[in-house]
Structure 1
Amino acid sequence: MRVLLWHVHGSWTTSFVQGSHEYVLPVTPDRGPDGLGRARTWDWPTSVVEVAPEDLRAAEVDVVVLQRPHEAELVEQWLGRRPGVDLPAVYLEHNTPLHGEPDVPDTRHPMADQDLVPIAHVTGFNELFWDNGAAPTTVIDHGIVDPGHLWTGELPHAAVVVNDPVRRGRSVGTDLLPDLLAAGPVDVFGMRVDQLPPADGLRTHEDLPQARMHEELARRRVYVHTARWTSLGLSLLEAMHLGMPVVALATTEAAVAVPPSAGVVTTRRSELREAVSHFLADPAAAAEAGRHARAHALEHYGLPRFLERWDELLAEVVR
C-alpha cells in the first residue's frame, strides 16, 4: 500500500513508517511545513520516499493520512482527488482540543459531523474531549521504537523534556520548575530550552539528536512529566521504555498511561516535589519503578501493537 502523509510530527512519524507499506512524503524546494520531506534527525527506512507536489498525480497513492485541516485542499490541488471520495483517507488527530471559542470541552473538531473520513485520535482523552459530532472515530495509542533498557540513574538529577517552554508556559508546566529545583538538580531537554532564565541547579540541553537524548535521559535518576494541557508526550513513553521511574501530573492521558507501580502521578505540587526527592535519594526504588514503567510501556505502547492497529484501519478505509 502507498500511503501519503506529511512530515508533521517527527517522533510519531518515526514509529508509523516502521510498517510494511511505502510512505510518500511531499517535498518542496524550501522544505517548508507543507513539504518537509524525510527527517534529518531520525533514522527512517528506505520505504519513505520524497515526491514533489507536481509529481504526486502520478505517484499511485492508495490512501492519505491527513493531520491538518488544510491538507485536504492540498490533496485536491496536487493529486486532483478528494479525500474520502476519490481517495481513501484517515484524519489523524495528534492534539488535545484547542482553547478558544467555544472553549474545552465544547471545542468542535474540524472534521466533526462528516462521515467520509474517520478520525483517529492518539489518546482516549483526546477522543473524549474533542466534540467529534457524528464523525466516525477510533483511538490508536502511540507506539514507540524501543530504545532499550538504558537507565543507569547515575546522576541524581530529575529530567524534563519540553519544547518551547517559555512561549508555552503553563500549558507545559514551565512554572513548576522552581518546585522541582527545591527537590534537587533539574536537567531540561528540548527545543528552545536555552530561553529559560538561569537558576541554581537548572541545566538545559538544546535539541539533541534522539539517540543522544535517550542516552542522556537514561543517566538521570527520574523523569518528570510537567505538562498540564497537551496530548500524551512521546518523551514520557520513551522515558518509560528506557526504564526510568516517572513522576507526572495527573492530567490528560498521563493520568491513565502511567501505572502506580511505575512512579507517582499527582495533581498536588507538594506530592510532585516529594516524589522527585524520594527517587533522587533512593536509587533502588527508582530502579524498581523504572522496571515496572518499561514493562507497562512495552505492553501498552509497543511498536507491534501500534502498527497492527494502523494496518487494520488503513485496510478498512481502502477496501
Structure 2
Amino acid sequence: MRVLLWHVHGSWTTAFVQGRHEYLLPVVPGRGPDGLGRARTWDWPASAREVTPEQLRDEHVDVVVLQRTRDLQLVRQWLGREPGRDLPAVFLEHNAPGLEPDDGPVPHTRHPLADQDRIPIVHVTHFNELFYDNGRAPTTVVEHGVVDPGERWTGELARAAVVTNDPVRRGRTVGADLLPGLAAVAPVDVFGMGLAGLHERHGLDPHRVVLHDDPPQAAMHAELARRRVYVHPVRWTSLGLSLIEAMQLGMPVAALATTEVVEAVPAEAGVVSTRPAVLWDAVRTWLHDEDAARSAGEAARAAALERYGLLRFLADWDALLEEVVR
C-alpha cells in the first residue's frame, strides 16, 4: 500500500514508517511545513521516500494520513483529488484539545472535522477521543507505539531528567514553572528543543539545571539512561512520547496525573500525582535508594513494552488502513 503523509511529528512518524508499506513524504524547497521530507535526526527506512508536489501527480496513492486541516487543501491542490471521496483518508489527531489558539475551551472543544462523516478521526489516546467534541465524525483510537530503545538504564548519575520542547514559549503547559521546585530536591538535566532563555525565565541556577538543547535522539536516549529518574511535569499534552521512551529505557518515572498519564504509568512503575510535592518526594527516595529506582524502572519498561510496543501499533494501523481503503 502507498501511504501519503506529511512529516509533522518526528517521533510518531519514526514508528509509523517501520511498517510494511511504502510511505510518500512531501518535500518542498526550503523544507517548510508543507514538505519537511525525511527526518534528519531519526533513522527511517528506505520505504519512506520523499516526493515533490509535482511528482505526486504521477504517483499512485492508496490512502492519505491527514494530520492538519492544511493537508486537506494540499491534497486537493497537488493530487486533484478530494480526501474521503476520491482518495481514502484518515485524520490523525496528535493533540489534546485546547492546545491550538482556535480550539475553543476544554471540554467543549469541537474538532475541525466534526461536521463530516467521510474521514474518520484517529486519536492517539482515549483521553483525547473523550475530551474532543467529535460531532458526527467516526472516531477510533490507535495508541502510540515506540521503537524500543532497549533496556539501557544505569542510573549512575543521581540526577533527574526532563524532556521538553519550547518550554519558554509553552510555559505552564509543559510545566516549566515547576522546574524550580524540582531543582530544589535534585540536580536536573533538561533535554529538548528551544531551551534558550529557560534559566532566565524561571530563575534557574545553571549549575543546578543543565540544558541539553536539541540532542540527536540516540544520544539523548543514552544520556537519559544514565540519570536516576525521569520526571514528567507536563500539565497538558496528548501523551509525551518521551515519557514512553524513558519507561522503555527502564527509568522510574515521576509524572503529573494529567491527561493520559494515569493510564500509561501503573503504580509499580513510578509515582503519578497531581501534587508536585508528592513527585519530589519520590525523586528524593530514588536518588537515595538505587534498588528502589531499579525495581520501578523494570516495571516501567515491562508496562511500556506491553502497551506501547511497535508490533501492536503497526498491526492496529494495518487493520485501520485496510478497512479505510476497502
Report the counterpart of residue 4 of structure 2 in structure 1: 4
**Residue 228 of structure 2 corresponds to residue 226 of structure 1:** no
Which of 253, 259, 282 in structure 2 is aligned with 1:246?
253
C-alpha contact 2:156 2:226 (8 A) present in aligned 1: yes
Letter in 2 for 1:315: E
Letter in structure 1 aligned against 2:54 = E
Q: Which amino acid aligns with 2:171?
A: G
CA deviation vs aligned residue, 1:165-199 (integer Å, no higher than 9, x gap): 11100000001111111211010000022321141
Q: What is the DSSP-based 3-state SS (H/G/I as helix, E as strand, rest coil) of the residue aligned with 2:224?
A: helix
Q: Which residue of 2 aligns with 1:293?
A: 300
Q: Which residue of 2 aligns with 1:264?
A: 271
1:252 Cα shift? 0.4
Within 2, Cα distance between the matches of 1:315 and 1:178? 49
For the residues of structure 1 that align with 2:118 and 2:82, how far apart are their CA atoms?
10
Kindly state the Cα deviation for residue 134 of structure 1 after the two structures are TM-superposed.
1.3
Query: Which residue in the other structure is 1:49 paired with?
Result: 49
Contact 1:279 1:286 in 2 (8 A): yes
Deviations 1:224-244 (A, max 9, x none): 001001110000000000000
AA aligned opposite 1:66: L
Q: TM-score, normalised by structure 2?
A: 0.96
Distance 1:312 1:195 in 2: 45
Asked if the contact 1:109–1:132 (Cα under 8 Å) also holds between the matched residues in 2, the reply is yes
Report matched runs for 1:1-319 at 5 Å: 1-98=1-98, 102-197=104-199, 198-199=204-205, 200-319=207-326
**Are 2:239 and 2:261, in contact at CA under 8 Å, matched by a contact in 1?**
yes
Deviations 1:43-95 (CA, angstroms, capped at 9, x unpaired):
00000111110111111000000000011111010000000000000000000
C-alpha separation between the residues in 2 aligned to 1:82 and 1:317? Answer: 15
What secondary structure does 1:274 align onto? Answer: helix
Contact 1:194-1:205 within 8 A present in 2 as well: no
Give the CA deviation at 1:26. Answer: 0.6
RMSD of aligned Cα (Å)? 0.9
Please state how far the C-alpha of 1:101 moved relative to its aligned partner: 6.6
Q: Which amino acid aligns with 1:298?
A: L
| Aligned equivalents of 1:270, 1:217: Cα separation in 2 | 23
Q: Indicate if the aligned counterparts of 2:97 and 2:103 stay in contact, CA closer than 8 A.
A: no
Please tell me whether the aligned partners of residues 268 and 296 of structure 2 are also in contact (alpha carbons under 8 angstroms): yes
The AA in structure 2 aligned to 1:296 is: A
What amino acid sits opposite 1:141 in the alignment?
E
Letter in 2 for 1:84: G
- Contact kept in structure 1, 2:103 and 2:110, CA below 8 Å: no
**Could you list the runs of 4 or more consecutive aligned residues of structure 1 that deviate by over 2 angstroms after TM superposition?**
99-102
Equivalent residues of 1:185, 1:202 under 8 A apart: yes
Q: Percent identity?
A: 69
The 3-state SS of whatever aligns with 1:106 is coil
Q: Distance in 1 between matches of 2:104 and 2:162?
A: 32
